[in-house]
Structure formats: structure tokens, C-alpha cells
Structure 1
């Protein structure tokens, strides 16, 4: 039985990688540098294939048919990815892959310029995630469609030059500069804060109490309760002051046969 196209492609890929690995044994420094760039280019090709496959599976509803509520959860179970790794692929699939409308009409990718540089191998998966995040910010959503498209084209162009962190900083500054009007002023008064935090000490008694109450009546009630439990108890008429020594009665000389002090003798001694 002949191999399927997928099986054949996988076998050829493994053989190619094995041959490339064997060629590095006697490679020069320049050859090894070429290996690094070759591996990065191959990795980006594989990322594009992965993203395209995820987009197709999402469009077909394959993961939902298997009981998964989200694609990242399905990818985590299938491939052992962390949630953020799966999320990067899903975001890329949603942003740089062609779409299909409800009526079956083919639609271009949301990030058209980014899709072009990603397909050409000029940028990586993390760059795509950064561009998508920057253009989904509140400032970017306030831009007109034309200005938004221009910003996306500039970000795609810089993606081949900047690292993801640099692209994040540059793109954020670009969008904020294009958002000339900024957010609409909020004339609403700030929401009141009424909160109490109790933090117990570890390994010992006691703890810390912190709170903020904008409601005056609530603050007074809390303050009254805390004040009542924090001040020392008041001295009563029967309590003995701490600075007064107790009075000692003289020892009685007359004792009864029961070894109990005679009340009369005690009375005499008091006088």
C-alpha cells in the first residue's frame, strides 16, 4: 500500500532534518551561522503551516465537535502547550488567515499587511501577536478605518526590523500619536470605595487591618466598633488600683482548736 501524501511529506521532512543535522559535524563557522538562519526560516514556515491548520480546524468546528469549549484548551491537550502558547496560534489564525463570511463569501485577513509579511517569512509568530494586541487597544479602536489600516501597514513593515518587545513599544507610541482626540472626557463622579482588608500574621497571633470607606456613616460605624475593642477596660469600684499595695492584717495570736482563726480575735486585731 502506498503512503498517503501526509505520510510521505513527514518522512521527507524528517530525512531532511537528519541530513542537515549530520552536515553540521564538519561545518565551518559561516556554515553554522547559515544553519541558524535556515532553522529560523524553517521554523517560521512550520508556524505558518500550524496557524493555517488551526484556522481550518476552527472553521470546520472540529474542536467543538469533540467537546472543547475553546481552541486553546484543545491545543493544550493535543500538543502539551501552555495556554499562552496556544493562544498565540489562535490569535494568529484569527488575524492573518483568510476568512469566510456567514454566507460563504471569502474575506481577506483582518491584518492584511501583517499576513503578507508573515506568509513571506519576514516576521515571526510573536510579532503577529504584538501587532494584534496593539491594534486591539482602546486607542487603536478610536482610529478611523483608513488611519487604522495605515498603522497596521507601518507595524507590519517594522516587524521585520524590531524585536517583539521593541515593536510593542514602538507600536503603542504610534497608535497614541495617531489618536489625537484621545478618550472622551468622563464627567461621572468616581465610584465610592468601601472596603476592609483583614490580614492575619503568619505563624503568630494578631494581624493587620486596612480599609477605606468613602461612606461617612459606614466609616463611623466601623471606627466605633474598632475603638470599642481596642481601648483598655475601665476600672470598677471593686478593682484594686495597680499602684496600691494590699493591706496585711496582723497575725492573730488566738487560734481555735479547729485551726481556724477566731473571728473575735481577728476583730480585736483589726482595732
Structure 2
């Protein structure tokens, strides 16, 4: 839920199981999951009168993903956040997501006795990102998608970009959450000087490749071998650049903890934690990024 200072309206975005409203799903969390649709509800916060409501559909995003990403299945990324813009449009942020578990069973013998141990690990595959711009009536104005292939050792949910800035930072928890580095995964979004930027950690190969297809997009791999990049859509294609400068040396990387990103009030800069790796040495810095 968000409040618009521009038109004094309250916006409530809701994910609904598609079957319950007899509609085809526009979002899911993997092939075996329940499908969802997304509904925007716009209220007058003083009278609580419902001014408008509509299902968020994005045929232009689907068409862009089909043409440029050439994925094997229709784009059904789940909602991560939305932004109310000064020009009275709304930007929706989507991301492909698939939750699953892997259970391993081990057998050991002690003093002739057999014992069985089971461990379960929770994972989330994070795929291509979708950015959709709509007017107040729900008409899709412009959309594009960026291929991405990440695997976080944690269970992540829809609206993660919206909620993670209001929660604890995830970094090396205890027990089963020791490998939860989800704060380095997914992406962030900024709109500065009439241009929107998608910020995420990516390996060098994908950053420097001009190919947009998911088939040519290599899995991101280890966080410490990535660099933070910013990407924007120039009207025909996605342009990518290194946020902290070209590493040049193959044994150097500079990446950031995305859930620590904290924007200034004017929205034109943000602070974050950047980690610089040189060989086996890693140093963490608090940095300001100005656009």
C-alpha cells in the first residue's frame, strides 16, 4: 500500500489466486505453483471510497520477453514492488521466481549402530526482471525485461523489494540460514532525472555481452565473482554499465549488498555497502552513489 502526494489517493496492490476470480494467471512461482493475478485498488483515504480498480495485465512485457529474451515459457514473473511517479503513472517491478527444497539423507555407523540424518535446504531461483509503466487506468504504456539467472539459498517471496527495506539485513545467519546471502540477490530500482535504472549484481560475461536471450545468459554464480551494474532501457534495447567502474582485472570485483541501499530524500543518490575483492582479500566500504 502506498500514498500519492500528487493526487492524494491511496494505492493498494493485491495478489489473488487466479482460479478464485476465474482468470488466467499473469504470475506464478514456478511451473508447479499456484498462479496469481494482480489487482490495483485506488481509494480516497479520507472517505474510503473506491475510486478505481483493475487487474494489472502486461501484454507488452510478454511480447518484449518473447522477442528479446526468447524464454521457453511465457513471462510470469511475480510482483516485487511498485512506484507512484510524479507524472501520475505507475511503474510495476516483476521478477521470475521459483521456490524449492532439496533434502539430503545421510547414513552413519557408530559402535556398530546405524543412524540416519536428514538435512533440508531451501532455495529460490531468481530469473528475468520485468519493468512495466502504466497510466492510472491500467493501460500499459511501456515495458521491457532483462535476463538474469540467480540462485539464493533462502526462501524468498513476492513483494520482496517492497518489504526488505523494512526488515533486517540478511547476512550469514545461524544454522540453516548460514548461507542466506539473499541481500545480494534480486535487484533494486531507481528513477532519477527522467531515467529509470535497474541495479543488480552480475558476472562479467553477462554484463559485457550484447545478447539478451535467457539461453545466452550464464548463471550468475558466486556473489564474490560479480560486479554491481546499472541497466536502463534506451527505447530499443537494454544498456548495461558497471556501477563502481570497470574492474578490468579478472581477479577483482566490486559488488554491493542491495537490501542496504538507502536513497536520499531527493531520490538522486543512495548509500550502500560495497565489497571490493582483490584476489583473496575482501574489504567492505560504505559508499555514496550519485546519478
Q: TM-score, normalised by structure 1?
A: 0.25
Give 1 or 2: higher strand fraction: 2
Larger radius of gyration: 1
Which structure exhibits the higher relative contact order, with contacts defined as CA atoms closer than 8 Å and separated by 6 or more residues?
2
The normalised TM-score by structure 2 is 0.23
> Which of the two has greater helix per residue?
1
